[in-house]
Amino acid sequence: MTRLSVNINKIATLRNARGGNNPDVIQAAMDCERFGAEGITVHPRPDERHIRYADVVALAKVVKTEFNIEGHPDERYLKLVKEVRPAQATLVPDPPGAITSNAGWNTVSHADFLKKVVTEIKSLGVRVSIFVDPDVTMVEGAAKVGSDRIELYTEPYASHYHEDRESAVRPYIVAAKAAHDLKLGINAGHDLDLHNLKFLHQKLGHLDEVSIGHALICDALYLGLENTIQLYLRELK
C-alpha cells in the first residue's frame, strides 16, 4: 500500500502571512492524521518563510504517523534531524533561496558528500531518502551511497501528463524498476494532484509513499481538508 504523506508547508505559509498562530500548524498536522493521512512532511528552509525550525521540534512531539523532514543537508538541517529523529530524512539539493525544489541530486558528482551525510543520518536510526530525477544512473548512485529510498521528482511528469501521459510516465517506470531491483524503497513527490496521481500509482508497482502539499492544500480550500485527504487516499487504492 502506498502511503500518503501530507506536506504542511503551505499551512505554515498562510500562518506566517499575518503572524500569530492562525492557522495552527500543529493542530493542522494532527487533523491531517485524524482524517487519514499516513505521514506528515515538512521542508524547513533557512529563511523560515513557511515551516520554522521550532515547528519541527513541536511537531515531533505530536505526530503519530511517519514524520518526514525534507531539506538540503547543511549543518542546520543535520542538527535538526539529530535532535528530532524523524522516521525519514529526505535529502533535497535546494540552494538557500529556492522557492521550491526543481531538480534531483546528481548522485554521481556528489557521491562523496552524500555518502557521508547518509551514513551520519542512518547512524541515528533515521531512514534516508534521496530526491532524484527519473534517471537510472542517478538511482544507481543513490544506492551506492547507501540510501534506503529515493524520491522521484515528479514535476516533469505532472507538466506533460495532459499532453501525453504514457510518454510522461515512461522514464518513471524505468527508474522505479531500477530502484526496486536495487532494493531501494520508492517515494514520489512534486506537483502530484487529483488529476495525475492515480495514473502514476497504477504505473509504478512498488511505490511506497507520495508526498503532496501544494495541490492538496489548494483542493482543501474548496473541498475541505478531511474530504480532500480522503479523495487523495482513494486515488492510491
Catalytic residues: 43, 70, 190
Cell numbers linked to 219: 483542493
Partners of 127 in beta bridges: 88
Q: Give the single-character DSSP code of 174.
A: H
Give the DSSP per-residue string, 58-103: HHHTT--SEEEEEE--SHHHHHHHHHH--SEEEE----TT-SS---
DSSP summary character for residue 131: E
* Residue 39, all three cell numbers: 505521514
Burial status of residue 64 (CB atoms within 10 A of its CB: 0-12, 13-18, 19 or more):
exposed
Sign of the CA dihedral running 113, 206, 235, 225 = negative
DSSP 8-state secondary structure symbol assigned to residue 40:
E
130, β-bridge pairs: 91, 150
Does the CA dihedral 184-188-194-197 come out positive or negative? Answer: negative
Task: Tell me which amino acid residue 98 is.
Answer: A
DSSP state for residue 134 in the 8-state scheme? S
Helix-, strand-, coil-residue percentages of the chain, each rounded to 5: 45, 15, 35
